[in-house]
């Protein structure tokens, strides 16, 4: 993609003194609900009021949105509160209706981003628009697929672009609803530093009590904003109840977040240092998670050895692993001394796990 600096002009032109904030209910349910939440959020840091009008659900039978009727409610929000409005679009018909109702920001959902056919249909419908268009990452951790969607919109002469990082699906059990895979978002930032990146902690966590921590990590990684689902009665929301916060909680989150602005050489240094440390924190957490998975496999090996009455220590296998890791470490700039210490510690922990299984 060429001339990517124009992508963030819409954000720079807002001259914000805080991260961009997109907030509102997961789903528009009733006019009263939409207006009540909107009135609670006006005169706050919220820049765009979001509400899902069409809700693609994983399985049929769940609430799938109020449809085009909700667009009139968003029009009323803009008229009465002055907030700009945002909603998700998944096909040409959605785009045409959203533009007809003067919705200010449209986003393409994770389920749509996985299909180049759907993205191209939306790009064709949006060609040359002056609306802001954000693309959520696909449900699977595929950077090329994500960037391909951005490129399709860029090729369609959509100038006000950005992406939303909402985490990635995994079959493995995790504390997150969608694992963040921060490194993938970092790689995207590195390749296209002018592309605005918005974090969606609601869909990453799936739990309202984790939203603050994920939001802080995103800001430490220099994300440009947050999309946080907000509902006046979250427990009784018609969709995604567990991940929505009240307007009062949203205001508290925004007050408590540490927001660093580059305004002096010292501040710039601290911002860059915080960003690099945040990247290290992400990788350290990945290391811990990987080690946990590795030890579960060691437990399985311990169970097999117990069944066959086989000794825990297998010297030949251990020496093969150590030799291979020393060579692999050299290609990554890691010293032999470090690799020996690291893998001896990992090996000892693995032995401890296997002995616990065998002696248990």
Residues 42 and 101 in one domain: yes
The pLDDT, as a whole number, for residue 20 is: 96
Confidence band (pLDDT; 50, 70, 90) for 3? low
- Residue 152: beta bridge partners? none
Pull the structure tokens for residue 345.
Answer: 């510690």
Residues 70 and 200 in one domain: yes
Q: Following DSSP, what letter does each residue of 137-166 receive, concatenated?
A: PPSS--HHHHHHHHHHHHHTT--SEEEEE-
| CA gap 201, 218 in Å, rounded | 9
Q: Say yes or no to pLDDT of 57 above 90.
A: no
- In angstroms, the Cα distances linking 89 to 67, 134, 142, 199 are 11, 10, 21, 18
| CA gap 359, 113 in Å, rounded | 50
Residues 227 and 283 in one domain: no
Residues 227 and 339 in one domain: no
Residues 190 and 302 in one domain: no
Greater pLDDT, 202 or 298 = 202
Confidence band (pLDDT; 50, 70, 90) for 263? low
Average pLDDT in the 19-38 region? 97
Greater pLDDT, 102 or 189 = 102
Q: Which of 217, 240, 259 is the last residue of a domain?
A: 259
Residues 219 and 292 in one domain: no
Domain of residue 287, CATH code: 1.20.59.10
Q: Say yes or no to pLDDT of 1 above 80.
A: no
| CA gap 224, 214 in Å, rounded | 14
Evaluate whether 86 touches 105 at the Cβ level (below 8 Å).
yes
Q: What tens digit of pLDDT does each residue of 118-168 get?
A: 999 999 999 999 999 999 999 999 999 999 999 999 999 999 999 999 999
Domain of residue 92, CATH code: 3.20.20.70
| CA gap 21, 49 in Å, rounded | 9
Within the chain, how many helices (H) and strands (E) appear? 14, 8
Count the domains in the chain: 2
Residues 224 and 321 in one domain: no
Give the domain range for residue 343. Answer: 267-359
Q: Which of 198, 225, 259 is the last residue of a domain?
A: 259
Pull the structure tokens for residue 17.
Answer: 């003194």
Evaluate whether 230 touches 24 at the Cβ level (below 8 Å).
yes
Residues 248 and 123 in one domain: yes
Residues 251 and 282 in one domain: no
Residues 200 and 337 in one domain: no
Pull the structure tokens for residue 95.
Answer: 């785009």
Q: Which of 221, 237, 259 is the last residue of a domain?
A: 259
Residues 272 and 254 in one domain: no
**Three-class secondary structure of residue 230 per DSSP:** strand
Residues 204 and 285 in one domain: no
Confidence band (pLDDT; 50, 70, 90) for 239? very high
């Amino acid at each position: 993609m060429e001339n990517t600096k124009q992508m963030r002009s819409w954000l720079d032109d807002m001259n914000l003194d805080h991260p961009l904030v997109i907030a509102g209910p997961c789903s528009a349910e009733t006019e009263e609900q939409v207006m009540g939440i909107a009135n609670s959020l006006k005169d706050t840091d919220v820049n765009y009021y979001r509400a899902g009008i069409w809700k693609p659900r994983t399985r049929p039978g769940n609430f799938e949105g109020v449809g085009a009727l909700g667009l009139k409610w968003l029009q009323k929000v803009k008229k009465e509160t002055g907030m700009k409005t945002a909603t998700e679009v998944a096909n040409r018909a959605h785009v045409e209706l959203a533009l007809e109702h003067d919705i200010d920001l449209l986003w393409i959902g994770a389920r749509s981003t996985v299909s180049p056919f759907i993205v191209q249909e939306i790009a064709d419908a949006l060609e040359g628009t002056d609306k802001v268009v954000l693309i959520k990452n696909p449900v699977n951790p595929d950077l090329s697929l994500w960037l391909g969607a951005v490129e399709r919109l860029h090729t369609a002469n959509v100038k006000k672009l950005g992406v939303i990082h909402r985490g990635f699906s995994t079959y493995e059990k995790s504390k997150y609803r969608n694992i963040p895979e921060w490194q993938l978002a970092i790689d995207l930032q590195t390749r296209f530093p002018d592309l605005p990146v918005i974090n969606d902690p609601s869909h990453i966590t799936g739990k309202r009590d984790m939203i603050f921590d994920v939001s802080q990590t995103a800001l430490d990684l220099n994300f440009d904003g947050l999309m946080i689902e907000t509902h006046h009665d979250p427990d009784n929301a018609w969709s995604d109840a567990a991940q929505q916060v009240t307007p009062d909680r949203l205001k508290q989150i925004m007050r408590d977040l540490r927001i660093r602005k580059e305004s002096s050489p010292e501040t710039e240094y601290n911002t860059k240092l915080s960003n690099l440390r945040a990247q290290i924190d992400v990788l350290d957490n990945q290391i811990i998670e990987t080690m946990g998975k590795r030890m579960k496999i060691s437990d399985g090996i311990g169970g097999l050895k117990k069944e066959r009455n086989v000794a825990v220590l297998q010297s030949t296998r251990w020496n093969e692993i150590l030799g291979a890791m020393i060579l692999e470490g050299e290609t990554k700039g890691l010293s032999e001394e470090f690799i020996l210490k690291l893998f001896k510690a990992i090996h000892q922990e693995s032995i401890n796990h296997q002995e616990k299984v065998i002696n248990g």
